[in-house]
Amino acid sequence: MGADFMKKILQFPVPFLKAYPPVWIAIFFVLIGADLASKKAITNEMNFGLSQSQRIEAGVFSASGTPAETDQTNYVSILGDNGKYIRLRLVFNDRFLFGSGPSAPVLGIFLTAAAILFLFFYRWKTYGAGHPLAWLFVFSGAVGNLIDKLFIKSLTTREWVLSFGPQKGHVSGVVDFVECIWFGLHQFDDVWPLKWLSWDTWPIFNLADSLIVVGICILVITIGLSPDPAKETTAEKADV
């Protein structure tokens, strides 16, 4: 019974390289590289914006005498006076979606890895569901953020150190650095379903987050347009 169930689970409608062709895989690694390179460059150059819990975790208890990296006032203006519309500011997201929920850097590693593994088999099992570009963006962003979560960042040397748990003198969390103006409709401050409209800025994000959001949007539009793998196989044989 168990063997038959596993055999059924591991049966896929198409070979691996049809679901994940070499060009797709090559672009996947390029996007991950671009995401991690941008995060490392920002980490090397900008001050570290730490939350209160991150200061405690890293052993930084006050503003006086702390390394310059923990000065949250540092930012780079991109669009608008003093970055009114878009600016770069380095923070570390050790929480969940949009920086919500409790600080849980270690749990976040396992949840992200489990989600990627599930989506990997889901994409292969339901080959054709959703546009390949959408899956490329989602996987690239998710894996980029997962790799980021595996490293803690030194407050003194700015090095990325592979670690599955927090350490003194280091900060955990995904590197986020793009901050954009948002609606700022404060009349919705106390209206829970619409509270997001009261935000002055959108939650700070990175390239991986952008890839995930764009990929999900494309998936929502294209997920119902899945071709029948059996028909594709028949058509390929006919062509031969």
d(CA 140, CA 49): 26
Other beta carbons less than 10 A from residue 233's beta carbon: 13
- Find, among 209, 207, 204, the residue nearest to 181 by Cα: 204
pTM score, whole prediction: 0.85
CA distances 20 to 26, 35, 111, 128, 197, Å, are: 10, 20, 23, 11, 38
The pLDDT assigned to 87 comes to 93
Question: In this predicted model, what pLDDT tens digit does every residue of 149-178 receive, in sequence order?
Answer: 999 999 989 999 999 888 899 999 999 999
The pLDDT assigned to 27 comes to 98
Mind giving me the DSSP string for 132-187?
A: HHHHHHHHHHHHHHHHHHTEEEETTT--EEE-SS--TTEE-SEEEEEEEE----GG
State which H helix or E strand residue 201 sits in: strand 201-205
Question: In this predicted model, what pLDDT tens digit does every residue of 16-41 receive, in sequence order?
Answer: 999 999 999 999 999 999 999 999 99
Other beta carbons less than 10 A from residue 12's beta carbon: 15
Place of tokens 């939650």: 203
> 102: which residues sit within 8 A by CB, 6+ positions away?
95
State which H helix or E strand residue 92 sits in: strand 86-93
**DSSP SS3 for 99:** helix
Tell me the domain boundaries of the chain.
Answer: 16-226
Query: What residues in the chain have per-residue pLDDT under 70?
Result: 1-7, 61-73, 98-101, 225-240
Contact predicate 49/89, CB 8 Å:
yes
The pLDDT assigned to 172 comes to 92
